[in-house]
Amino acid sequence: MNKLVIIIAMKIKNEDDLDNYIICHKCFTLHKIIPIKDGYMASCNECGAMLYRYDTKLVDKSLALSISGLIFFILANFFPIVKIEILGHDQFITISKTIFTLIDSGFYIVGILCMFLIFIFPLMILIIDIILFTLLKLRRSKKFTKTLLVLLAHILPWSMPDIFLISILVALVKLIGYVQIDMGMAFYALIIFVLIDIYIVKKVKISELWILRENMILKRSKN
Ligand SMILES: [Zn+2]
Q: Where is pLDDT greater, at 11 or 181?
A: 181
Distance 31 CA to ligand 1 centre (A): 9
Distance 1 CA to ligand 1 centre (A): 18
Distance 157 CA to ligand 1 centre (A): 24
Say how many residues make up the chain: 223
What are the extents of the domains in the chain?
15-53, 56-222
| Residue 142: pLDDT over 50 | yes
| Per-chain mean pLDDT for the chain | 87
Distance 10 CA to ligand 1 centre (A): 20
Strand partners, 82: 93, 183
How much of the chain exceeds pLDDT 90, in percent? 43
Residue 161, amino acid: P
Distance 21 CA to ligand 1 centre (A): 13
Distance 23 CA to ligand 1 centre (A): 8
Angular region, 12: left φ>0, alpha ψ -120 to 50, beta rest: beta
Structure confidence at residue 179 (pLDDT): 83
Distance 125 CA to ligand 1 centre (A): 30
Q: List pLDDT tens digits, range 154-176.
A: 999 888 888 989 998 998 888 88
Structure confidence at residue 108 (pLDDT): 93
Other beta carbons less than 10 A from residue 54's beta carbon: 19
Distance 84 CA to ligand 1 centre (A): 51
| Residue 1: pLDDT over 60 | no
Q: List pLDDT tens digits, range 49-67.
A: 988 888 888 899 999 999 9
Q: Cα–Cα distance between 47 and 56 in angstroms, integer?
A: 26
Q: Cα–Cα distance between 65 and 198 in angstroms, integer?
A: 11
Distance 28 CA to ligand 1 centre (A): 6
Q: What is the mean pLDDT of residues 8-16?
A: 64
